Amino acid sequence: MTESVRSQTGHSVDVGRARELRRGDTVRVRSAREIESSLDEAGELDRLPFMPEMLPLCGQTFTVQARADKTCDTINLTSCSRKMESTVHLVEARCDGSAHGGCQAGCLLFFKEDWLERVDAGTPAVTAEPPSDELVQRLQTATQVDAETYRCQATQLLEATTQLKGHKHFLRDVSTRNAPPRQLARGFLYTFIDRYQRFSRRLPARLRINGGDPFPDVRGPWGGERGITPTQDSGIQAGDLVEIKSLPEIIATLDHRQRNRGLWFDREMMRYCGRRVRVVRRVNRLLDEATGRMIVTKSPCLILDGVVCEGDFHSLCPRRDYAFFREIWVRRVRPDGTVEPDHDALTTPTNTTNDTTNATGSN
């Protein structure tokens, strides 16, 4: 028997499991009082934290971006290998990092279905009642472990998920509208190719494709005798229009692990080569998802508008993490539409710390 409470619209609703949501559905985030009744003492539901950054979203109306039935393990870097229950992502409902030391990753938030109510398209937002002081204190206490260590949905991902097994999740992507058939075919194909390539390394050479190496292969020439990867400071700022360089130009800046100064260039980022996009912000504060410690990077990177991981190479993970770009991977576009020439790249051993581990997840 489920408990009923009065919703923000004045109607009686169940606080228990909501019926399954799908991509494109319109929902409203429940009031803080309704959500509070679903949380344990740690401010969690099914081990997933409800974070302080989510409180201002109460009462707002969103479109469901996707079901979060599966997600990449960005702690152990094992790609899309985790399963989550009764959870969705909402269109551009991202964490602003305000309660987590100013983290600039901009992660797409996870919402339990119990925290949402389905509404008709076009339904306006409502003014949500303020959260109780007890809830605010509970969430703040659960969020900050010490001066430099935090807990968030990303750091608690393994506790909130289980191991993803088999391939039926691809079929579920269609039934839930997470992926259209064409994207499903791409995701399944790339998954098959990656698994064959790994398996083929144990086979005779004649049965290997490209020696069993990843495909497409975007590993660069740097490392070993060639030393550290080049870097470039172009002074690019938020709001600047930039053109993403061609794939060969970017590969020329990478080492054998697809990295430039520790930042990984994911194959998901290839689709954006040649595009012109606006810079959202420069990034130098990120939480280490494995430890919860704040990392202040020595080599800033860029977040670009609309440039996210689509999941094609990660079993159609719907998380849509922002891709991080080095300045050497883009060129600023002048007001007249021409592109600024490259500045001289630096290859001196400054800023050599691997201060960021990856761009969009795990390969």
Cα torsion 291, 292, 293, 295: sign: positive
Return the pLDDT at 346: 64
Residue 189 lies in a domain: no
Residue 29 lies in a domain: yes
CA–CA gap between residue 95 and residue 93 (Å, rounded): 7
Return the pLDDT at 222: 92
Residue 306 lies in a domain: yes
Asked if residue 77 and residue 9 are part of one domain, the reply reads yes
Asked if residue 157 and residue 220 are part of one domain, the reply reads no
Return the pLDDT at 18: 46
Asked if residue 258 and residue 150 are part of one domain, the reply reads no
3-state secondary structure of 230: coil
Omega prior to 335 cis, within 30 of 0: no
Can you read off the two tokens belonging to residue 60?
Answer: 């707002």
Which string of b and e fits 198-237 if b means at least 16 CB within 10 Å? eebeeeeeeebeeebebeeebbbebeeeeebbbbbebebe
Asked if residue 152 and residue 17 are part of one domain, the reply reads yes
Residue 97 lies in a domain: yes
Which of the residues in the chain have pLDDT under 50?
1-18, 349-354, 357, 359-363
Return the pLDDT at 91: 97
**In this structure, are residues 131 and 55 in contact, taking their beta carbons and an 8 Å threshold?**
yes
CA–CA gap between residue 133 and residue 115 (Å, rounded): 19
Query: For residue 212, what is the DSSP state?
Result: G
Residue 194 lies in a domain: no
Return the pLDDT at 336: 95
Cα torsion 353, 286, 252, 205: sign: positive
Asked if residue 242 and residue 117 are part of one domain, the reply reads no
- Please report, in angstroms and rounded to a whole number, the separation of the first and last CA atoms in the chain: 44
3-state secondary structure of 351: coil
DSSP code string of 298-337: EEEEEEEEEEE---TTTTT----PEEEE-GGGEEEBPTTS
Asked if residue 258 and residue 362 are part of one domain, the reply reads yes
CA–CA gap between residue 133 and residue 131 (Å, rounded): 6
Which domain range does residue 110 map to? 4-121+129-162
Asked if residue 267 and residue 156 are part of one domain, the reply reads no
Asked if residue 158 and residue 16 are part of one domain, the reply reads yes
The one-letter code for the residue type at 225 is E
**In this structure, are residues 278 and 43 in contact, taking their beta carbons and an 8 Å threshold?**
no
CA–CA gap between residue 18 and residue 25 (Å, rounded): 13
Asked if residue 232 and residue 361 are part of one domain, the reply reads yes
Residue 211 lies in a domain: no
Give strand pairing partners of 303.
281, 324
Asked if residue 145 and residue 30 are part of one domain, the reply reads yes
Strands (E), 152-204: 162-163
Return the pLDDT at 363: 43
Torsion, Cα of 45, 47, 53, 54 (10° steps): -30
Residue 301 lies in a domain: yes
Return the pLDDT at 24: 95
Asked if residue 258 and residue 144 are part of one domain, the reply reads no
- The number of distinct structural domains making up the chain is 2
Give strand pairing partners of 339.
333
CA–CA gap between residue 292 and residue 333 (Å, rounded): 37
Residue 64 lies in a domain: yes
